[in-house]
Amino acid sequence: MTDLPDDVEQLKAMLMQLQKEKLEADLKVQTQQEEIAELETKVQLLVEQLNLSKSKRFSTQSEKTPKGSFNEAEQQNATPKSDDEKKKTGRKPLPSELERETHKHELNAPYCECCDEPLHECGVETSEELKIIPQKVSVIRHERTKYTCRQCEKTQTKSKIITAPKPASMIPKSLGSADAFAAVVTAKYVDALPLYRQVDILNRSGIDISRATLSNWCVQLGDKVQVIIDYMKSTLLKETLICADETTVQVLREEDKKAQSKSYMWVYRSGEFTQNPVVVYDYQPSRAGACVREFLTGYSGYLLSDGYSAYDTLEGVTQAACMAHARRKFTDAQKASPSKKAGKPEKALNYIAKLYGIEKQAKSLSS
């Protein structure tokens, strides 16, 4: 060991130097420990992301909780199902309200193969098959009878001709009937059949009609039903609870927008147990908060949504959270966790399961 100097000042200097070196070493160790902790956190996060990615790619259970785990509320309320309530397997029968046409099949020569004696009927074996009649196109010919007065013809220089009126059309001077209008609109907006394909279908029946004509029908019919939409909206805004959501929609031809850009379809609907259920769709070119503020102007009830920030811009509205969206985050955390032990995600899912049990009871009381 190096001999220590006898000088006090030198000893103090050496001690201070040692303390300084120790402090630097401690700081270095602390920094390294913090770096290690940060790296461990990153590794843990990457492992969770990998587990979640694998779960989303290969899992067949979706968001279902493992059987028997955290479903006390459902288990407490579960009652054995009777034989009639058990799910039936096999092909579902065709709807009874469909029109039936019976084709009876009989033997040409009902004689016994053994003794050649005549056979008698002992029952009928039935089976059913679906029949689809392709779209039928026809023409309604309106013949408006004209009337004139014989007496006026004899006594007047002119005789007034009176023509019987024909039923009013939703689009005056149009080739379409109410049936044609309904078919085109239903095909486009319910069955998502583009107008150009409808033109091709009509052309196969020898009908020369343009896409522009069908488009004009849709526009004018939309104007006609706007009063109904306005009434539906006013009815919806009187509800205590409104559910809202939005999704992307692509519009190929829209002014000042590229075909690849996103537009949005907002949907607003009343609660499940309302007396007058209403669903209203509202197309908007964006997802901005102004869209929902404009639609829900004057509304002051409860709004159930997925928590998108645009809904938070509403004033006078009580926000309600969608538990399905909240639950999804915990199921993701559960799938991402490398530990097999029950943790915070499982605890949260347990609470949500109990909440679902209460909801199930409330639904049974409402029904």
End-to-end C-alpha distance for the chain, whole angstroms:
91
- Residue range(s) defining the domain that contains residue 354: 323-367
251-256-258-261 Cα dihedral, nearest 10 degrees: -60
Kindly state the average pLDDT of the residues 179-187: 96
> Per-residue pLDDT tens for 199-245?
999 999 999 999 999 999 999 999 999 999 999 999 999 999 999 99
**pLDDT at residue 255 in the model:** 74
Cβ–Cβ under 8 Å, residues 273 and 291 = no
Same structural domain, 245 and 317: yes
Q: Which of 49-63, 73-87, 351-365 shows the lowest per-residue confidence on average (mean pLDDT)?
A: 73-87
Query: Phi first, then psi: what are they for 157, rounded to 5°?
Result: -75, -25
pTM of the predicted model over 0.75: no
Domain for residue 76, yes or no? no
Same structural domain, 338 and 286: no
Domain for residue 167, yes or no? no
Kindly state the average pLDDT of the residues 138-160: 89
Domain for residue 285, yes or no? yes
Q: What is the domain count for the chain?
A: 3
Same structural domain, 219 and 290: no
- Select from 221, 236, 251 the last residue of a domain: 236
Cβ–Cβ under 8 Å, residues 253 and 275 = no
**pLDDT at residue 76 in the model:** 47
- Select from 216, 236, 256 the last residue of a domain: 236
Tokens of 14: 């050496």
**pLDDT at residue 74 in the model:** 43
**pLDDT at residue 48 in the model:** 75
Domain for residue 27, yes or no? no
Say yes or no to pLDDT of 268 above 70. yes
Same structural domain, 280 and 268: yes
Same structural domain, 178 and 191: yes
Same structural domain, 317 and 327: no
Domain for residue 358, yes or no? yes
- Select from 236, 271, 291 the last residue of a domain: 236
Q: Other C-beta atoms within 10 Å of 214: how many? A: 23
Domain for residue 223, yes or no? yes
Same structural domain, 313 and 341: no
96-98-99-101 Cα dihedral, nearest 10 degrees: -70
Same structural domain, 340 and 291: no
Show the 3-state SS of the chain.
CCCCCCCHHHHHHHHHHHHHHHHHHHHHHHHHHHHHHHHHHHHHHHHHHHHHHHHHHHCCCCCCCCCCCCCHHHHHHCCCCCCCCCCCCCCCCCCCCCCCCCCCCCCCCCECCCCCCECCCCCCCCCCCCCCCCCCCCCCCCCCCEECCHHHHHHCCCCCCEECCCCCCCCCCCCCCHHHHHHHHHHHHCCCCCHHHHHHHHHHCCCCCCHHHHHHHHHHHHHHHHHHHHHHHHHHCCCCEEEEEEEEECCCCECCECCCCCEEEEEEEECCCCCCCCEEEEEECCCCHHHHHHHCCCCCCEEEECCCHHHHHCCCCEEEECHHHHHHHHHHHHHHCCCCCCCHHHHHHHHHHHHHHHHHHHHHHHC
